Structure formats: structure tokens, C-alpha cells
């Protein structure tokens, strides 16, 4: 587990980051055979992405519930799309398998959203490295970085 940082921090990072939200929703909790393979597929993709930094993947955060959500940080939209369509990567076979299975059952849904971030702000207190704080450089949120408004215009 990462060390909790007690300072008030903000992350500085390169412009043009990509935030990719992807997840699944369990529509029928009892249909394990339908949603476990979807969950397992993501479990294969993340190690592949971390082992191959040239793919452009930087980091992720995950939240669990009826809807599972992964927040992913990427170098560029182009690298994200290249990975999604790569025939020798884990994603494309998993996507094809899901589409085939989804026609037979509504037990699980999947979704994604892609954001090309040109401007954003962030702040962390009593947190381990998290989100943009993992992919950027953490610095004190003070002086000209004290308020959300001032962090947005930098």
C-alpha cells in the first residue's frame, strides 16, 4: 500500500493527457458465468499494459460495486486506440468474446468514456499517490497553486 501523504498537494503533468473510463455493470448478480469472464478479461489487460509502457498506458484506479469502474490514464488518444485495435494484445479478443456473449444474455453490460484533457485541476490531502498524482509530479498546493481556480489557469 502506498504511503499516505499528509501535505496538501497538487499534481503537475504534461498537457494533453487522456482519461479513459471503462467498466462493467452486473445486471444479474446470479449469472456468474456471464460476468466473471468479463471481469477476468480486464484482469489480463492491466498486467499487459503495465509491462509494456510503450503502449502509452500510465496508471489506473479502480472502484467496485454493482458497476465496476476503471479510471485509466494514457499518453494519447492514438495510443489508446492502437491498443484497443491491436490484434496481438489482450483487448481485441476479449471485446469480440464479449460481443458474441452479449447477444445471448443481458446479465452484464460494459461501457467506456474517453476524455482528452487539456485543462484540469486536482488536490490531494491525506492521500497516497492517486489519479493524476500517480502520473504527474506532486507539488505543494500553495502560493499560485492554492485554489482550484488558480490551478485551472496555469
**Cell numbers standing for residue 134:** 500517480
Residue 62 grid cell: 479502480
Distance CA 98, CA 95 (A): 5
Per-residue model confidence as pLDDT tens digits over 10-53: 998 877 789 999 988 999 999 988 888 878 887 888 999 999 99
Cα 31 from Cα 107, distance rounded (Å): 6
What is the domain partition of the chain in residue ranges?
A: 1-14+119-154, 17-117
**Residue 63 and residue 46: Cα distance in Å, rounded?**
14
Mean pLDDT of the region 124-143: 94
Q: How many CB atoms lie within 10 A of CB 76?
A: 13
Q: How confident is the model at residue 2 (pLDDT cuts 50, 70, 90)?
A: confident
- For residue 127, which phi and psi values (nearest 5 degrees)? -130, 145
| CATH number of this structure's domain 17-117 | 3.30.70.100
Q: What pLDDT does residue 153 have?
A: 75
- Is residue 154 over pLDDT 70? no
More confident residue, 14 or 110: 110
Amino acid at each position: 500500500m502506498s504511503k499516505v501523504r499528509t501535505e496538501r498537494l497538487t499534481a503537475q503533468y504534461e498537457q494533453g493527457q487522456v482519461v479513459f473510463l471503462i467498466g462493467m455493470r452486473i445486471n444479474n448478480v446470479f449469472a456468474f458465468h456471464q460476468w466473471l469472464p468479463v471481469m477476468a478479461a480486464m484482469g489480463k489487460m492491466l498486467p499487459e499494459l503495465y509491462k509494456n509502457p510503450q503502449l502509452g498506458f500510465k496508471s489506473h484506479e479502480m472502484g467496485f460495486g454493482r458497476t465496476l469502474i476503471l479510471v485509466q490514464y494514457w499518453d494519447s488518444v492514438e495510443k489508446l486506440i492502437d491498443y484497443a485495435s491491436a490484434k496481438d494484445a489482450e483487448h481485441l479478443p476479449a471485446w469480440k468474446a464479449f460481443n458474441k456473449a452479449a447477444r445471448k444474455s443481458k446479465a452484464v453490460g460494459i461501457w467506456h468514456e474517453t476524455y482528452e484533457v487539456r485543462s484540469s485541476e486536482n488536490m490531494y490531502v491525506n492521500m497516497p499517490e492517486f489519479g493524476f498524482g500517480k502520473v504527474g509530479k506532486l507539488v505543494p498546493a500553495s502560493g499560485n497553486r492554492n485554489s482550484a481556480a488558480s490551478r485551472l489557469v496555469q
